[in-house]
Amino acid sequence: MPVMSYADAAKLAVAEAMRDDLTVWCVGEDLGRGGVFKQYTGLVEEFGPQRISDAPISEAAIMGAAFGAAMAGTRPIVEMRFADFALCATDELVNQIAKARFMFGGQSRAPMVIRKPMGMWRSSAAQHSQSLESWYTHIPGLVVCCPATPQDNYSMMKAAIACDDPVVYLEHKNIWASEGEVDTNHAVDFGKAALRRSGRHVTLVSWSHTANVCVEAAETLAHQGIEAEVIDLRSLWPWDKAAVFDSVRKTGRLLVAHEAVSVAGFGAEVVATVAQNIPMKALPKRLGSPRGLIAYAPNLEDQMRVTAPMIAKAAQDMMENEPA
């Protein structure tokens, strides 16, 4: 299998879909020069400016125009540049796109992929670093996914383009250059988690880049005799409750970690759902960023991160401090 970067894996998925289906096209800012993270490099040369379409700096106009094109029968891939910038198009996404199929009684649909690069990345500060995935899981009508590996960024992009519902597609900016093997024959279904590591003592649940951090933490825990099972949800709506339930039944312990602010984060949804359904040996825990703004200064930015040592320490505490 070829080795490629997280960014190139998604680019390959987009290119293959565009070759196979003339209704697939891309629209957003800076696409003609390859995208701000170079995730569209070379596509305008192959497909031309009509299908790799540069747009004015108006997120609302980009989202609204793409919505109209989707309802007219095309499959737009909408590049929002940063998840933070996409907030300028929240009305179009939340009040129009998410509700289109319902409001028109199934006579219309919005098969769109809305790409929103998310997360902390090299001192990008408060307006370019947010992880807002929990906002979109709250909205009926939206599919929400957060790929963590090159393989998933390929396979989930293919699934997102083929989906007849709007997909909020959140790629973490800090892992654009990360590399891994990509099997172009491997398909992924939304709502099906990935088992990143097997274990029997504690279940670690995460998504996006923090899922990779959980794998790192699990390797540290293994040296201490603690076998952590790592579940990467991959899609947050739908999410794989069955996989999480099965794991927690085995381990009896649950720790959810994510980069987004802990307050009202999706980790709370996972913890609450499991607690309502599965008896546990220890109280479940969640780790997320504190409810604060992300600074430009690296030393302050680091205070907001959920790290592998933090995850390992929380898992150790669960093992040592079980209720009598």
- The catalytic residue positions are 128
Least Cα distance to 174 among 117, 214, 121 occurs for: 121
Least Cα distance to 147 among 196, 209, 191 occurs for: 209
In whole angstroms, give the CA distance from residue 305 to residue 167: 26
Which strand (E) or helix (H) includes residue 171? Answer: none
Whether 248 and 203 have beta carbons less than 8 Å apart is answered as: yes
Q: Which two tokens stand for residue 233?
A: 């949800």
Reduced to 3 states (helix: H, G, I; strand: E, B; else coil), residue 182 is coil
Taking the C-alpha atoms of 75, 176, 53 and 69 in order, what is their torsion angle to the nearest 10 degrees? 20
Neighbours of 202 (CB within 10 A): 27
Reduced to 3 states (helix: H, G, I; strand: E, B; else coil), residue 4 is strand
For residue 164, the number of C-alpha atoms closer than 13 Å in the C-beta half-sphere is 7
Reduced to 3 states (helix: H, G, I; strand: E, B; else coil), residue 95 is helix
